[in-house]
Amino acid sequence: MPAARPTAERPATDRPRSHRPQGARSRAKLKQWSGKVTRESNALDLEQGVFTMRNARDIAASLKRSAERSTRRKSAPLQSAMSMLTFYINRAGRNLSESRLRTLEKAKSELRRLFRSEDRS
């Protein structure tokens, strides 16, 4: 049986390895971070379950309401609402079904339409 080397002489490459694969920790932190942004955004107070609504028009209307009511947003209401929707699609996109992704993409068009119709009034 070979003699164990003292810890002080251990080369840097002999460090104990994590039980997680490379990058797993950063992905876990990213999920926590993006989930927190969606729940506790500093720009918009989102209606609970806004991104799980089935109808694109309902999603767009909720985002529009949130963006117009917010006193903390730093840009125009349309831009704030669109940014939050795009952020959600980009972060959750890997795990969304095709139909869900289609609904969220339609919500973008609906959001633009809602804001355009407001400008005409």
Q: Give the number of residues written for the chain.
A: 121
Q: Among residues 85, 118, 119, which one has the least CA distance to residue 103? A: 85
Instruction: Summarize pLDDT for 24-39 with one digit per residue, the tens.
Output: 555 565 556 666 666 6
Q: Which amino acid is it at 121?
A: S
Rounded average pLDDT over 96-110 = 94
| 61/41: higher pLDDT | 61
Residue ranges of alpha helices (H) inside the chain are 24-39, 56-69, 77-92, 98-120
Where are the domains positioned within the chain? 50-121
Residues 58 and 56: their CA atoms lie apart, in Å, by 5
pTM for this prediction: 0.66
Calculate the alpha carbon distances from 2 to 5, 9, 52, 107 in Å: 9, 15, 60, 66
Calculate the alpha carbon distances from 56 to 41, 65, 72, 84, 94 in Å: 21, 14, 25, 15, 19
| pLDDT value at 119 more than 80 | no
Q: Among residues 37, 118, 15, 30, which one has the least CA distance to residue 85? A: 37
